[in-house]
A and B are shown apart, each in its own frame.
Chain A
Amino acid sequence: MTAYFRGPLFYTWLFLVSATLASALLGLEGKAGVALIVLLIALVKCRVVIRTYMEVHAAPRWLRRSCDAWLLGNALMLSSPYWS
């Protein structure tokens, strides 16, 4: 069972955990303007999960494009209140 924890899936998990901790630290700071970085980290985490855990990296083009379009749309939508 432990052998499974030496693969790329586990390294992805390590990356996700560190990204989460980083964004939490940034969030605790509570400085204005940090919000966009936090959002970016969250979206990157989403994309990593979609690509590796959900195995979209090996999926047909329509699926890869749909997922990326969704991420891009959310990035634009959720960052819009912070533009001005």
Chain B
Amino acid sequence: MTIAQATQIESEHVPGDKDVWVFVLGEMVIFSSYFFVYACLNRSVNEPVFAASRHHLNQTLALVNTLILLTSSLLIALSVQATRKRDYRVATRFVELGAGCGVLFLLLKGYEWYAKLSQGITLGTNAFFMHYFVMTGVHVLHVLIGLVFLAILRLELRTRAQPRVSLMEVGATYWHMVDFLWFLIFALLYLMR
């Protein structure tokens, strides 16, 4: 095999497998439809009620949550790297820390919701909070599914003599998607006005 062929194969590598990309690309399109109804339907983002409601959101908490997810993504990426180096003990630790960040995200999100609900702000308060609760809710659901993936990765690393790199990539791919979808939700709901 020549070097040219080798790099050719290298550049054609699908992270994980094709099936997970069907899943992830579909999820991305499905999420776009939530963004669409938020930003484009009725051109409602420019309405005064949106601007007024946005003031009730806790931007600092959301910022901290963004940084937590970012870090968790880094840890999972590092864990894939460690698996490639057959450094399984470290890879396991990275997965655990990454999942820990995910759990922390959920706790902070739960606190944020709790604060809203105790102020009497619910799903039905107004159009903005409808989008707020649905979008963050769908995202939380994805974080939960992502945590299931991470649990499977941990199981793979701990029980197999030769953990499969492709499986690690599958889980990591999904987790990174959960991460970058949050960037857009963060920008749309909390920052853009």
Contacts and interface: CB of A to CB of B under 8 A. Distances in A.
Direct A–B touching, Cβ under 8 Å: yes
Interface of A: 1, 4-5, 7, 9-10, 12-13, 16-17, 20-21, 23-24, 26-28, 30, 32, 35, 38-39, 41-43, 45-46, 49-50, 52-56, 58-60, 63, 66-67, 70, 73-74, 77-78, 80-81
B77 A74 contact: no
Nearest first, the 4 closest Cβ-Cβ pairs linking A and B are A27-B191, A42-B187, A35-B192, A46-B180
A70 B25 contact: yes
A70 B45 contact: no
A66 B25 contact: yes
B39 A77 contact: yes
Interface residues of B, number: 50
A46 B184 contact: yes
A3 to B, nearest CB: 9
Interface string B1-34: 0000000001111110000010001001100100
B32 A73 contact: yes
A52 B81 CA distance: 12
A47 B59 CA distance: 23
Contact of A53 (B90, B176, B190, B192): B176
| Majority secondary structure of chain B interface residues (helix, strand, loop or mixed) | helix
B176 A38 contact: no
B13 A59 contact: yes
Contacts of A24: 59, 63, 66, 191
A78 B184 CA distance: 10
B71 A42 contact: no
B186 interface: yes
A74 B35 contact: yes
Contacts of A70: 25, 28-29, 32
Contacts of B74: 9-10, 12-13, 53
A49 B81 contact: no
A41 B55 CA distance: 22
B93 interface: yes
B187 A58 contact: no
A78 B188 contact: yes
A30 B90 contact: no
Contact of A23 (B76, B169, B191): B191
B87 to A, nearest CB: 9
A77 B35 contact: yes
A59 B180 CA distance: 18
A55 B78 contact: no
B151 interface: no
A38 B187 contact: yes
A20 B67 CA distance: 8
